[in-house]
Amino acid sequence: MKKCDRCQGEGYLVVGQRPCPNCEGTGKSESISLGESRASDIDDLLSRGSAQCSVCKGTGNLPVTEACQACAGLGREYLCLVCGARLTAKAELCEHCSQAPLVYVLDPACDTGDLVVGDLYQGKVSGLASFGAFVDLNGDLRGLAHNKYLKSRPEVGDTIYVRVRSIAPNGNIELEPVEVGKCHILTLEKDLSVSKAKDLSQMMGKLVCLKGEVIQVKQTGGPTIFTIADESGVVSCAAFERAGVRAYAEIDSDMVVKIVGEASTRNGQIQVEIRSMKQLFGGEATEVRNEIEQSIDRRAEPADPPLLVESDIMTRLRPRMRAVAKEIRRAIFKSRPIVLRHHADADGISSAVAVESAILPLIREVGGPDAEYFSYRRAPSKAPFYELEDVTKDLTYALEDQSRHGQKMPLVVLMDNGSTEEDVPAMKQAQVYGLEMLVVDHHHPNDVVDQYLIAHVNPAQEGGDFGITTGMLGVEIARMINPDVGEKVIHLAAISAVGDRSEAKEAARYIKLVEDRFKTEDLKRIALALDYEAFWLRFNEGRGLINDILCLGRLDRHRRIVDLLCEQANAAIEDQLRASLGNVKSTKLPNGIIMNVLDVENFAHKFTFPPPGKTSGEVHDRMCQKFAGKPVVTIGYGPDFAVLRSRGVGMNIPQMVKELMAEIPNGGVSGGGHLVVGSIKFVGGMRKDVLAKLAEKISACPVDEVIPVKVPAEAMA
């Protein structure tokens, strides 16, 4: 019964004080019997000069109490088991309901300790003998109704009501069939205090009771496995009906349940062998959910380590970064699947692997050693935005896992993509199915995406730009998620800075942090190896290969694979440039910009490394060397796309794309990226018009007096 909220189960309230009659309010005893006194009393007498009053304990006052009106002095809220009416005495039934007998149906978890001699129970005849009938009270309890108590011979399978006459020391139960007529039938549950998932390791072999939320239901060739989460953690619970048959078919994910079972171990992991399970409703379910949410909210609070480098922009971004870290930790502690989407270049891979390194140990800690295989997936995106192809794959996997295993829809974390208007169509589709999304990006953001996100981190939100790479942000967020990975992933921020050619102050600081382990040339080689391997991996995460390239495994293998991949990548780049450079057309625009154009469809190798975006970038680097000190724009175009790279030109590619969409409405124009590096798509039949209008806009761009080399090297197709 629930404790009285007013008196906290005491049954009375303290309403005042009165002087102690034993010491007349002094708190001291005038006399003490040395023969009857304890050593502490004698010590108190010697130190104080007088003994403490034994009645008031030295306070001089006694409390004045009165019966609690809220519970009528009972200290508990007693409700009728049948109708739920509030009782004014310690009883089970109200006056009206007590006129009919109470018959109990035993829960499957009940044993002989739950039986009361003289009480009535419902049973089923399971066998007949010459001396009587065997009656099952539940799956584990069987009693005997002797012939002398049988007024008629029952049939096997008959439901009968019996009174427990006696329980022998060896567990034999003597039953007496009774005719009850009108009665009240109640299910009797095993009376156990509720245990916590984190405490089960100390209760092996014992019967335990759990209350929690069903996170996942997985049907194996044998038992059905229910993953249950309470406020302390997650535990697997097994129920067996028949081989391969779904047990407790009425129980599904997201339900709040009460489980009684035996704590045991299987394959080194704690597992509860379910004896009974039922869904909780109403206030009881709400109370359990609230406890879980409050506990998870506390546990999900991220760490707050200082930034690895000094940065005003990142300092202002800290609240947003902490919000992302907290949502990721919350998903882990709720055993919610996580999909980590990232752009397939050095920056995107570095940022995603940093976060992956932080979350995988936590996922294994919460859900067991194999949890990462069904609670986590990393997937690269070829484009620097969340494409419809990407969201279609994510939804397909998520809906299949939900249907087959009862999993929740995943949390999608977008890294090095997700901030632009190009991401919106995929986000809208994800929203239909309830996918929640986080974004960590450094592409020029559009506020329209925020309505589809629960958290968003972008340097531009605090006055920064693409110079602060996603890899830098990812490393700092990883340290907030799991501080134990800090030293392991620091160099990933430097790799992303070099891979994206960042000239921000923060880039130099991250590079300096790891200079004792990696020279700048080493970082460049790692970034090139990542880009090369990502091209061949396509939509595969390639975790083992990528970890070796990023020096997260064996050092000797890291060196050999980076050497090999760089050799192959440089050979492919040189081969591409031999075919392409002679076909570059350079024009000096009226504003002094050197515009270089290359038809990558006809004058570059297709379907191999480097792809059009990388090819355009390499050509641009050669043009910058050729026209040193001058503003340079390079356009690599194909049948229906154009890749833009610039140096020393005040371009705003997202704005250009918007203007082209308005000025050439039948051009099918879309695209975006950074301010000075990006890509544009259009319909093939309007290529000439789009490129001509694009050239006009470039010729109207302002030119920087001092030519910076602040250009991110992203391979955009």
Q: What is the pLDDT of residues 611-622, one digit of tens each?
A: 998 999 999 999
Nearest residue to 403 via CA among 555, 218, 247: 218
Whether the pLDDT of residue 391 is over 60: the answer is yes
Q: How confident is the model at residue 716 (pLDDT cuts 50, 70, 90)?
A: very low
Nearest residue to 591 via CA among 677, 635, 674, 651: 651
pLDDT (tens digit per residue) in 462-501 = 999 889 999 999 999 999 999 999 889 999 999 999 999 8
Kindly report the number of other CB atoms within 10 A of residue 264's CB atom: 16
Whether the pLDDT of residue 660 is over 90: the answer is yes
When the pLDDT of each residue in the chain is averaged and rounded to a whole number, the result is 87
CA distances from 326 to 8, 296, 333, 359 (A): 36, 10, 10, 12
Please report, as a single letter, which amino acid is at residue 617. Answer: G
- From the options 3.10.310, 3.30.160, 3.40.50, 3.30.460, give the CATH code of 584-699: 3.10.310
Q: Quote the DSSP letter at residue 665.
A: G
Nearest residue to 505 via CA among 554, 464, 454: 464
The SS3 of residue 19 is strand
Q: How confident is the model at residue 263 (pLDDT cuts 50, 70, 90)?
A: very high
3-state SS, 60-83, equals CEEEEEEECCCCCCCCEECECCCC
Is the Cβ–Cβ distance between 143 and 164 less than 8 Å?
yes
Name the helix (H) or strand (E) containing 511: helix 505-513
Q: What is the CATH number of domain 312-556?
A: 3.90.1640.30
610: preceding bond cis by omega (within 30 degrees): yes
Q: Supply the pLDDT for residue 43.
A: 57
Whether the pLDDT of residue 252 is over 90: the answer is no
Antiparallel, parallel or unpaired: β 338-343 and 411-415? parallel
Is the Cβ–Cβ distance between 477 and 325 less than 8 Å?
yes
Q: What angle do CA 617, 521, 557 make, to 5 degrees?
A: 105
Name the helix (H) or strand (E) containing 569: helix 555-580
Q: Supply the pLDDT for residue 566.
A: 96
Least confident window among 220-229, 409-418, 472-481, 626-635: 220-229
pLDDT (tens digit per residue) in 95-108 = 667 777 888 888 88
Q: What does the radius of gyration of the chain's CA atoms come to, in whole angstroms?
A: 37
Q: What is the mean pLDDT of residues 255-270?
A: 89
3-state SS, 208-224, equals EEEEEEEEEEEECCCCE
Specify the CATH superfamily of domain 100-188. Nucleic acid-binding proteins (2.40.50.140)
Whether the pLDDT of residue 576 is over 60: the answer is yes
The C-alpha atoms of residue 675 and residue 265 are separated, in whole angstroms, by 57
Domain 197-299 in the same topology as domain 100-188: yes
Whether the pLDDT of residue 365 is over 70: the answer is yes
* Sign of the four-CA dihedral 139, 144, 149, 155: positive
Per the DSSP assignment, residues forming a β-bridge with 79 are 86
The C-alpha atoms of residue 486 and residue 478 are separated, in whole angstroms, by 8
Q: Considering the chain, what percentage of its residues have pLDDT values greater than 90?
A: 50
Q: How many helices (H) and strands (E) does the chain have?
A: 16, 29
- Phi/psi region, residue 672 (left: phi>0; alpha: psi -120 to 50; beta: rest), is left
Q: What's the pTM value of the predicted model, to 2 decimals? A: 0.75
The C-alpha atoms of residue 637 and residue 689 are separated, in whole angstroms, by 13
Q: What is the mean pLDDT of residues 404-417?
A: 89
Q: Supply the pLDDT for residue 678.
A: 85
The SS3 of residue 332 is helix
Specify the CATH superfamily of domain 197-299. Nucleic acid-binding proteins (2.40.50.140)
Q: Supply the pLDDT for residue 411.
A: 96
Widest CA span of the chain, in angstroms? Answer: 116
The C-alpha atoms of residue 436 and residue 192 are separated, in whole angstroms, by 38
Residue owning tokens 């992933």: 489
The C-alpha atoms of residue 144 and residue 130 are separated, in whole angstroms, by 12
Least confident window among 10-14, 35-39, 75-79: 35-39
The C-alpha atoms of residue 28 and residue 53 are separated, in whole angstroms, by 5
Q: Kindly state the tokens that stand for 594.
A: 């050197």
Q: Supply the pLDDT for residue 705.
A: 57
Q: Supply the pLDDT for residue 707.
A: 45
DSSP letters for 344-398: SSHHHHHHHHHHHHHHHHHHHHHH-TTTHHHHEEEEEESSSS--HHHHHHHHHHH
Q: What angle do CA 575, 577, 580 make, to 5 degrees?
A: 115
The C-alpha atoms of residue 663 and residue 179 are separated, in whole angstroms, by 90
Quick one: 381 exposed, middle or buried, by C-beta within 10 A (0-12, 13-18, 19+)? Answer: buried
Is the Cβ–Cβ distance between 139 and 108 less than 8 Å?
yes
Helix/strand/coil percent split, the chain, to 5: 35, 25, 40
Per the DSSP assignment, residues forming a β-bridge with 571 are none
Residue owning tokens 């090095």: 416
Quick one: 482 exposed, middle or buried, by C-beta within 10 A (0-12, 13-18, 19+)? Answer: buried
The C-alpha atoms of residue 378 and residue 356 are separated, in whole angstroms, by 8
For residue 394, give every residue at least 6 positions away whose Cβ sits within 8 Å of its Cβ, in sequence order, or none. Answer: 339, 341, 379, 410, 412, 430, 435
Whether the pLDDT of residue 639 is over 70: the answer is yes
Name the helix (H) or strand (E) containing 220: none
Least confident window among 267-271, 385-389, 405-409: 405-409
The C-alpha atoms of residue 139 and residue 129 are separated, in whole angstroms, by 20
Is the Cβ–Cβ distance between 309 and 510 less than 8 Å?
yes
Q: What is the mean pLDDT of residues 175-185?
A: 84
Q: Kindly state the tokens that stand for 76.
A: 């508990």
> Domain coordinates of the chain in residue numbers?
100-188, 197-299, 312-556, 584-699
Please report, as a single letter, which amino acid is at residue 576. Answer: Q
Nearest residue to 635 via CA among 671, 590, 685: 671
Q: Supply the pLDDT for residue 76.
A: 67
Whether the pLDDT of residue 663 is over 70: the answer is yes
Kindly report the number of other CB atoms within 10 A of residue 372's CB atom: 17
pLDDT (tens digit per residue) in 70-86 = 766 666 667 777 676 77
Q: Supply the pLDDT for residue 182.
A: 82
Q: Supply the pLDDT for residue 149.
A: 87
Q: Kindly state the tokens that stand for 190.
A: 């095993």
